[in-house]
Structure 1
Amino acid sequence: MLERTRRKTRTEITFVLPAGHPAGPVSVVGDFNSWRPGANPMTERPDGSRAVTVAFPAGERHGFRYLADGGHWLDEDGADGHDGRNSLLHT
């Protein structure tokens, strides 16, 4: 799930995964962090879900995916689109 907070010149996107799915550490990787695993690790919230917030300039498009423990890739069903390989996000 994606939660958005729009500011004057940027959009803050909170990437959220449900509690316990998938098990183990997960990070958000994309063109905004040079696809570096661990650059944006998700942390547990009080309700057990995991999240990380990233600020983006307004009016951009980015590709991203979730990378779970063991090299398991996940897509975001609630993304703004998919390009056949990555989830897409429009800020």
Structure 2
Amino acid sequence: MSLKKMYLRSKPVCKVTFRVPKESADGAKHVSLVGEFNNWSEKSTPMKRLKNGDYTLTLELETGRSFQYRYLIDKTRWENDGEADAYVRSTFGNCDNSVVTT
């Protein structure tokens, strides 16, 4: 999994591209990005499946902030990002959340 950041000069946002590689998706039919930026909605940010089997999504996030997130694979399996900027303990369950800092 990976993050790619591109800061815009024209406005205070960072375009963050989230990627789940084919190997991590493990034959998934659906991957969603779920986090603070979408009010932890499991449906509002589905990722696009590429021809090579990777899943990707680009969001514009406000700069100077940190956002917790996780990937939801096939609506049943939660995964963290191995290349997240940090990890914090989730208030729900016994797990960590990935963090992206803009």
- Pick one of 73, 78, 82 that aligns with 1:73: 78
Matching of residues 3-14 of structure 1 within 5 Å: 3-8=4-9, 9-14=12-17
**Which deviates more, 39-48 or 29-38?**
39-48
- Alpha-carbon distance in 2 for matches of 1:70, 1:14: 21
Q: TM-score of the superposition, structure 1-length normalised?
A: 0.91
In the alignment, which of 49, 61, 66 is matched to residue 66 of structure 2?
Answer: 61
Aligned equivalent of 1:83: 88
Deviation at 1:68, TM superposition (A): 1.0
Counterpart of 2:19?
Answer: 16
Distance 1:38 1:70 in 2: 9
Question: What 5-or-longer segments of structure 1 have no aligned partner?
Answer: none
Is the radius of gyration larger for structure 1 or structure 2? 2
Within 5 Å, which residues of 2 pair with 1:20-59?
Answer: 21-22=25-26, 23-59=28-64
How many Å separate the matches in 1 of 2:19 and 2:5?
11
What's the CA shift for 1:27?
0.4
Identity of aligned residues (%): 30
Supply the RMSD in Å over aligned alpha carbons.
1.3
1:72, distance to aligned residue in structure 2 (A): 0.7
SS at match of 1:32: helix
Aligned pair count reads: 91
Q: TM-score, normalised by structure 2?
A: 0.82
* In structure 2, distance between residues paired with 1:56 and 1:64: 13
